[in-house]
Amino acid sequence: MIDQLNALRAEVDAAELATPEAIEAFRVAWLGRKGQMKDLLAQFKDVPGPEKREVGQALNALKTRIEERVAAASAAGPSVELPAWGDATRPAGGIPVGTHHPLAVVRREIVGIFERLGFAVSEGPEIEDDWHVFSGLNFPPEHPARDMQDTFFVGRDPDWLLRTHTSSVQVREMEAHEPPMRLIMPGRVFRNEAISARAHCMFHQIEGLYIDEGVSFADLKQTLLQFAQAFFGPDTRIRLRPSYFPFTEPSAEVDVYWGLKTEVDKRITKGTGWLEILGCGMVDPAVLEASGIDSTKYSGFAFGMGIERITMLRYQIGDLRAFFENDLRFLEQFAGEA
């Protein structure tokens, strides 16, 4: 019987247990109610006394071996081949969602602040005529902004161009509507500039316009202070410096106090602590009249700011080109910004 058990042991060792079905069939064939072990135990009764000990040990060893093989094969799991797309039982990964572009985040926030102050949103065309971009805004014929070096003209006709500022939307609105009007006008503008860390041939502005009876420079200053404190924080201070624009009189540039705490603060404010954020002024009566508004009855203020500049300040972005390259490593940093 020892020889028989040795042969069976070789058989057990050689069995292929690659699938759950094969393991189960093996288990039933050896350990089941009608399995081989049962027969062997029945034969054991007839083994003569002196051989019992040796045969008994060999029988036990065979049974243990069978159980080991079943346990090992079951633990290893099915060695099925995975389809090319991988394991269907793996946990699902997150679904990548897009992020808002930083310029869109800041535009929405600025527009939202002015909407809460009672301004309505308006937009105008990017391809414009000379009147709405320059002449209607009091730019003299020889003004340098009209120069080929600044303005992109459309085709050969000097009357058609890409707007160089969103102030063109002011003219369209003043022509189309009677005061009172209180408008915020975001949009894309174009200038023939060499692309660098600080300049681009395409960028974004937000224009503001408020015309009614009795609008004063104090209203302008108060509105811009409200804006600056809503956007940069409640303790923000602003200052207005006299400036010049053809379409406003008087004109000013507005600075916010940025501080001089770090080396970067000193560099970006050129040691003054102040940073320019926008241009503004009282709409020149000649501009009101050119659009058919009675300047003896109405007065108004206007302002314009660059969205890129304000976004660079807010997020400490050093290079304007980052906004237009659409590098995901840049854009993904704004995930979660509403």
Contact positions toward ligand DAH, by CB under 6 A? 165, 167, 207, 245, 248, 279-281, 302-304
Q: Which is nearer to ligand DAH, 105 or 278 (CB)?
A: 278
Question: Which residue has its beta carbon closest to ligand DAH?
Answer: 304
The tokens for 194 are 């060499």
Of 245 and 274, the one with the shorter C-beta distance to ligand DAH is 245
Q: Write down the least CB distance from residue 305 to ligand DAH, Å.
A: 7
Choose between 205 and 269: whose C-beta lies nearer to ligand DAH: 205
Nearer to ligand DAH, 74 or 226 (CB): 226
Q: Could you tell me the smallest distance in angstroms from the CB atom of residue 306 to ligand DAH?
A: 8
Angle at 124 between CA 120 and CA 130, to 5 degrees: 135
Question: How near is the Cβ of 281 to ligand DAH at its closest, in Å?
Answer: 5
Distance of CA 209 to the CA centre of its chain: 30
The token pair that represents 22 in the structure block:
């094969």
Determine the Cα–Cα distance for residues 329 and 309; give it in Å rounded to an integer: 21
Of the pair 168, 269, the CB lying nearest ligand DAH is at 168
How far apart are CB 165 and ligand DAH at their closest, in Å?
A: 3
How far apart CA 326 and CA 45 sit, in angstroms, is: 84
C-alpha count within 13 angstroms, C-beta hemisphere, residue 158: 7
Question: Which CB, 136 or 279, lies closer to ligand DAH?
Answer: 279
φ/ψ of residue 121, rounded to 5: -90, 140
- Among residues 105 and 302, whose Cβ is nearest to ligand DAH? 302
Preceding omega of 48 cis (within 30 degrees of 0): no
Q: How far is the CB of 270 from ligand DAH (least distance, A)?
A: 19
Residues 211, 233 contacting (CB under 8 angstroms): no
Q: Which two tokens stand for residue 62?
A: 């065979």
CB of residue 222 vs ligand DAH: minimum separation in angstroms?
Answer: 16
Q: Under the phi-then-psi rule, with left for phi > 0, alpha for psi from -120 to 50, and beta for the rest, what region is 97?
A: beta
- Please state the closest distance from residue 209 (CB atom) to ligand DAH, in A: 7
Rounded to a whole number, what is the largest CA-CA distance in the chain? 133
